[in-house]
Structure 1
Amino acid sequence: MDTFAIGVLLPTGTAQWGPADDPRDLIALGRTAEHLGFTSLFVNDSLISPRVEALTMLAALAPTTERVTLGTGALLPFLRRPVLAAQSLASIDLLSGGRLTLAVGAGYPGRFGRPFYDLSDVPWARRFARLDETVDLWRALWRGADSFHGEFHHFPDLPPALRPTSPTGPPIWLGGATPAALARTGRHYDGWLPYPPDPADYTTGLRDIHAAATEAGRAPEAITPALFVTVRIDDDPPTARTALDDYARATYGMPLPELEKIQAVVAGTAEQVAARLRQYVTAGARHLVTRPAALNLRAQREQMERVAALIPGPPPRTRVRPRQWACAGNDT
């Protein structure tokens, strides 16, 4: 039996809110997710559409939740000044009792990334090297370094920084599945959070990460293999696909057939969705971050309840800690 964690992405973007929704209810939605037994709460970080800023959302969740990991999927460090970002992240980690996990990314070409660099006064060129160096700077600050010298950041006299719970800082995962991203994950990061449409691509990507880790003298098993997947469950499969198509158009401005070419998405009955998720677990994923495809907070909660009901275990009220869900590794 293989074990895996299952988390949920909170709908912090206005495209996922109904006209009568109160964004303050996101806090209650996070507590509901913890009560349902989800292992983690993730938030997105993007300027594609108006949304509650990621670190602000996590800071609000830190004192109102008790056990769930709080994560970003994925944080875009270039949007923030790096030293202040390290201070904010350490603060959230401390206020949550060491429950922070960061997935980071460098953005994508087109409207999904490059315009954000212009807004941030950061050059698009060498964005991946800048991302890696920013992570190095954060880790140096969290270790108590008094200076830092890199290609993009030069700080000969760093003031004392706030230290997070762990001496090494919170785990940092990389989002991305290009050959270069896979190699960088193996050499540099604590986990991997991609969204490949085909589980077979997850298997090959994870193999390349492990090879890069071994070459760099790192233990491959120390890298958390995660997955970001959009989910819609309905009793009627065509209804599920229609709802997921509505979500794709509202969130990305593209129809479902286009979105499912580039992202892991699954729609159907509970049994169909469970079978598809098991394929990714068989492919090697061990932390599934599920994004409910719903366009108001009430429907988001209903989808969260359906996803939580997929997993066998004791009733949520009896759970006193985040659960590790069991799944047959060869059950596809």
Structure 2
Amino acid sequence: MEIGVLLPTGTAQWGADDDPRELVGFGRRAERLGFSSLFVNDSLISPRIEALTMLAALAPATDTVALGTAALLPFLRRPVQVAQSLASVDLLSGGRLAVTVGAGFPGRFGRPLYTLSEVPWERRFARLDETVSLWRALWGGARSFQGEILRFADIPPTTRPFSTGGPPVWLGGATPSALARTGRMYDGWLPYPPDPADYAAGLLAIRTAAADVGRAAADITPAMFVSVRIDSDVERGRRAMDAYARAVYGMPLEELDQIQAVVAGSAAQVLERLGQFVAAGARHLVIRLGALGVRSQHDQLERVADLIPALRAAADTAAAPGGS
């Protein structure tokens, strides 16, 4: 069982006096507290530290934690260039990189970004899959690539990653198409469904698709992205999470609840709810801390860290014969 944390790289999550350079120290502290991964997200919707820049800063400052994206939007970048950037971060971290990718969503979180990047919205999922195939080819030493959408000849030698074959690439999303594509070609799954039953059903669909092409269930990391706020009780925790949702997403918590996994309440209540996702099959939790201001983020980081032993014990129980 792996427990990771999303770094607060967006300016909407900072206080007036917060220094973004504190994020490196935040990552080091998470590592000392027992978190096994540090993730960053990626967007042009609101100002933030660019994802790969943040990971490059964390790579030499940390020792054991995995470094990941949740999720990287490849259409914002030139595909050969980003293969080079990801290989470089993998080298600098000694092979600790995991790359979750996504194609964006309709509305303000997706289509406008395609306009900014001058990439067609149409066939975005095929473009994403081809981009990942291109990366893997370049990481293996290929000098050309011929896909349906992406075609490159006479590519100069590119940087080879630390990991043989390159870092694992996970997919975000839980549509039927995303589940099938995850099973066929991706190394992990990082969705955020509000209901543990939906997570379990999605994971079953992925494993069925994987078996259809001769892949084993163990080839795909079952991860889960979830926003967490630990407070004295559910009501107080949800008030704080509502303020977070309005500041970061511009929407009330009741709307965010409909599309993302959000858990708030006392430590015992949060543990119980996260345990339901663990029982549904999640084995790498990426936790976004529902707090505004770096000081408050540090407080939530410590509270969540206290749950790590119990979450790992829950995973052991679920994996035991007769468990979930």
Both structures adopt the same fold (TM-score exceeding 0.5): yes
- Residues 135 and 101 of structure 1, relative CA distance in 2, 3 Å threshold: same
* Matched letter for residue 277 of structure 1: L
- What is the DSSP-based 3-state SS (H/G/I as helix, E as strand, rest coil) of the residue aligned with 1:136? helix
Q: Output one character per residue of 1:119-178: Cα deviation in whole Å (capped at 9) or x when no partner.
A: 000000000000000000000000001110112211121111111112210000000000
Q: Output one character per residue of 1:197-251: Cα deviation in whole Å (capped at 9) or x when no partner.
A: 0000000000000000000111122100000000000113211110000001111
- What is the DSSP-based 3-state SS (H/G/I as helix, E as strand, rest coil) of the residue aligned with 1:325? helix
- What is the DSSP-based 3-state SS (H/G/I as helix, E as strand, rest coil) of the residue aligned with 1:281? helix
Indicate conservation of the 8 Å contact 1:9/1:41, yes or no.
yes
Equivalence for 2:59: 62
User: Are 1:269 and 2:266 an aligned pair?
Assistant: yes
Please identify runs of 4+ aligned residues in structure 1 that moved more than 4 A.
none
Equivalence for 1:319: none
Deviation at residue 326 of structure 1 after TM alignment? 2.4
Equivalence for 2:224: 227
User: Are 1:47 and 2:34 an aligned pair?
Assistant: no
Equivalence for 1:12: 9
- What is the DSSP-based 3-state SS (H/G/I as helix, E as strand, rest coil) of the residue aligned with 2:313? strand
Indicate conservation of the 8 Å contact 1:240/1:268, yes or no.
yes
Deviation at residue 304 of structure 1 after TM alignment? 0.6
Q: Output one character per residue of 1:298-323: Cα deviation in whole Å (capped at 9) or x when no partner.
A: 0001001000011238xxxxxxxxxx
Q: In structure 1, how many angstroms separate the alpha carbons of the residues matched to 2:66 and 2:248?
A: 25
- What is the DSSP-based 3-state SS (H/G/I as helix, E as strand, rest coil) of the residue aligned with 2:309? coil
Segment of structure 1 superposing worse, 146-155 or 34-43: 146-155
Q: In structure 1, how many angstroms separate the alpha carbons of the residues matched to 2:313 and 2:220?
A: 20
Q: In structure 2, how many angstroms separate the alpha carbons of the residues matched to 1:196 and 1:210?
A: 17
Query: What aligned pairs does 1:1-332 form with structure 2 within 5 A after superposition?
Result: 4-312=1-309, 325-327=312-314, 328-329=317-318
Q: In structure 2, how many angstroms separate the alpha carbons of the residues matched to 1:331 and 1:257?
A: 33
Q: Output one character per residue of 1:253-280: Cα deviation in whole Å (capped at 9) or x when no partner.
A: 1111110111000000000000000000
Indicate conservation of the 8 Å contact 1:27/1:61, yes or no.
yes
* Matched letter for residue 204 of structure 2: R
* Matched letter for residue 21 of structure 1: D
Structure with the larger RCO, 1 or 2 (CA within 8 Å, 6+ apart): 1
Q: In structure 2, how many angstroms separate the alpha carbons of the residues matched to 1:237 and 1:153?
A: 49
Structure 2: runs of 5+ lacking an equivalent: none
Q: Output one character per residue of 1:55-83: Cα deviation in whole Å (capped at 9) or x when no partner.
A: 00000000000000000000000000010
Indicate conservation of the 8 Å contact 2:99/2:169, yes or no.
yes
* Matched letter for residue 234 of structure 2: P
Q: In structure 2, how many angstroms separate the alpha carbons of the residues matched to 1:293 and 1:76?
A: 23
Q: In structure 2, how many angstroms separate the alpha carbons of the residues matched to 1:174 and 1:311?
A: 25
Q: In structure 2, how many angstroms separate the alpha carbons of the residues matched to 1:195 and 1:295?
A: 21
- What is the DSSP-based 3-state SS (H/G/I as helix, E as strand, rest coil) of the residue aligned with 1:312? helix
Q: In structure 2, how many angstroms separate the alpha carbons of the residues matched to 1:331 and 1:37?
A: 25
* Matched letter for residue 159 of structure 1: P
Deviation at residue 331 of structure 1 after TM alignment? 8.6
Equivalence for 1:318: none
* Matched letter for residue 78 of structure 2: R
Q: In structure 2, how many angstroms separate the alpha carbons of the residues matched to 1:299 and 1:126?
A: 41
Cα RMSD between the aligned structures? 1.3
Indicate conservation of the 8 Å contact 1:278/1:331, yes or no.
no
* Aligned residues with identical type, % of pairs: 70
Q: In structure 1, how many angstroms separate the alpha carbons of the residues matched to 2:157 and 2:164?
A: 14
Q: In structure 2, how many angstroms separate the alpha carbons of the residues matched to 1:198 and 1:331?
A: 20
Q: In structure 2, how many angstroms separate the alpha carbons of the residues matched to 1:214 and 1:101?
A: 23
* TM-score normalised by the chain length of structure 1: 0.94
